[in-house]
Amino acid sequence: MATRRLLRSAGHPRFSASQTARRERLWALAVVDTLTHAVIGALGARTLIAQRLPRRWSLAAGALGGFFPDIDYLWFLLDPLQFHAYWHRSFTHSLLMLPLWALLLSVTLYLLGGRKQNGWLLYLGCALGLGLHIAADLITAWDLQLFWPLSDWRTSLAWIFVIDPWFSALALTALLLCWRWPHAGWLGAAPLVLWLIWSIQYKQQALELAQAFAQQQAEAAQVSVWPQPFSPRNWKLLVSGTHGHWQAHLRLGDSRSRLADYWPHPWLRSTAQAYQPHSALIWQFHPRFDSPQGDGETALQLWHSEMLQDVRQFFSAPARYHQPDSSANHCLWFTDLIYSLPTQRPPFIYGACRSPSSVWQLSRQPVTATSAE
* Per-residue pLDDT tens over the stretch 147-186: 999 999 999 999 999 989 899 999 999 999 888 787 787 8
Q: Judge if 46 and 81 occupy the same domain.
A: yes
**How much is the pLDDT for 326?**
64
Which among 255, 295, 298 is positioned nearest to 275, based on CA atoms?
255
Q: Judge if 24 and 148 occupy the same domain.
A: yes
Last residue of a domain, one of 287, 308, 335: 287
**Do the Cβ atoms of 137 and 89 come closer than 8 Å?**
yes
Q: Judge if 130 and 16 occupy the same domain.
A: yes
Q: Judge if 204 and 94 occupy the same domain.
A: no
The β-bridge relationship of strands 349-354 and 330-336 is: antiparallel
Residues in the chain predicted with pLDDT less than 50, given as ranges, are 1-19, 369-373
Is 190 part of a structural domain of the chain?
no
Is 239 part of a structural domain of the chain?
yes
Q: Judge if 29 and 167 occupy the same domain.
A: yes
Is 222 part of a structural domain of the chain?
yes
Q: Judge if 46 and 143 occupy the same domain.
A: yes
Q: Judge if 43 and 168 occupy the same domain.
A: yes
Give the whole-angstrom CA distance, residue 303 versus residue 305.
6
Q: Judge if 35 and 172 occupy the same domain.
A: yes
**How much is the pLDDT for 50?**
76
Which among 171, 177, 230 is positioned nearest to 202, based on CA atoms?
230
**How much is the pLDDT for 262?**
77
**How much is the pLDDT for 113?**
86
Q: Judge if 176 and 236 occupy the same domain.
A: no
Which among 242, 203, 200, 201 is positioned nearest to 224, based on CA atoms?
203
The boundaries of the domain holding residue 306 are 296-364
Q: Judge if 239 and 257 occupy the same domain.
A: yes
Continuous H helices in 280-338: 296-303, 309-314
Last residue of a domain, one of 260, 287, 314: 287
**How much is the pLDDT for 42?**
95
Q: Judge if 220 and 325 occupy the same domain.
A: no
**How much is the pLDDT for 12?**
42
Give the whole-angstrom CA distance, residue 7 versus residue 66.
34
Q: Judge if 90 and 205 occupy the same domain.
A: no
